[in-house]
Structure 1
């Protein structure tokens, strides 16, 4: 198995888990643990945009700021956008040419190695998903299993 195949396998698994987590965000919740914190819906939208940004960047060799619209009005819209993107990602990751995967990305004017950037984004997305899990119970929701049982799903 190549590194790219391993990455695609991990990405695909994590995407399914992320969908389970963001699907638990209650519609209309404006909960934030601190006035400086973002809402779970805002974090979920950041995940959508970061996933789009990294795959586009690896495919083209150039990272561009997301051109996505503002946070959608409903979680239903965020989830639909995530599902639509997530359904394309395993194939897109698998089809990245080796010279792109092993090459460089222009990351906002600075050259960075592509595959380590992809892994870094994956870890960042897992981090943001973890932020959302800490919001779920205070919002009146439940935490799904992630890497094993949760207090809500033994």
Structure 2
């Protein structure tokens, strides 16, 4: 039952992520609101990358950080980032579908050189926070970046401000 709910949320939210990344124009990729923050391209790539974490989170009880190499990929074009998203979405959905719901309360840990990177916690907590909520947070950041560059954003949970203003006219 939990797996079915997670899969349903995943599919719904993946469509929102797809809509958002599809609206990223090449002209905005280099924009960053402050020098220490990620550019639009880096942030969009990170959003696409988070979906590659689903398998190790859903189907394993430990993740050794030393075995992971972040590959932002070719972020010179928005279409490359969207392609990365599509590939990772397929893998992520399969990870959920293949997961064993009876293991969702297993203790999940992330280690670095065999040492805990943070306190172990139930796998379901990691799924909800490090995967799902993490993506929503970064989507919000990307929306702010796109608005700051004057670009349109998709409606994700109802009309955008601009759409609501058009409806009032």
TM normalised by structure 1 equals 0.87
Write the distance in 1 (CA, Å) between the matches of 2:152 and 2:56: 33
What's 1:112 paired with?
121
Which residue number corresponds to residue 69 of structure 1?
Answer: 71
Residues 63 and 106 in structure 1, CA contact (< 8 A), matched pair in contact too: yes
Structure 1, unmatched stretches of 5+, are none
- State the 1:17 CA deviation: 0.2
Aligned residues: 153
Counterparts in 2 of 1:64 and 1:28: CA distance versus 1, 3 Å: farther
- Contact between 1:103 and 1:113, CA under 8 Å: does it hold in 2? yes
**After the TM superposition, which segments of 4 or more aligned residues of structure 1 sit over 3 Å from their partners?**
none
Match of 1:100 in 2: 103
State the shift of 1:67 in Å: 2.1
2:49–2:85 contact (8 Å) kept in structure 1: no
Native 8 Å contact 1:41 1:75 kept in 2: yes
Structure-2 change in CA distance of 1:21 and 1:67 (3 Å): same
- SS of the counterpart of 2:121? strand
> How far off its partner does 1:11 sit?
1.3
Q: Which runs of 5+ in 2 are unaligned?
A: 165-169
How big is the alpha-carbon RMSD for the aligned residues of Structure 1 and Structure 2? 1.9
Q: Where does 1:5-154 land on structure 2 (aligned, <5 Å)?
A: 5-29=4-28, 30-65=30-65, 66-72=68-74, 73-108=76-111, 109=116, 110-121=119-130, 122-154=132-164
SS, match of residue 137 in structure 1: helix
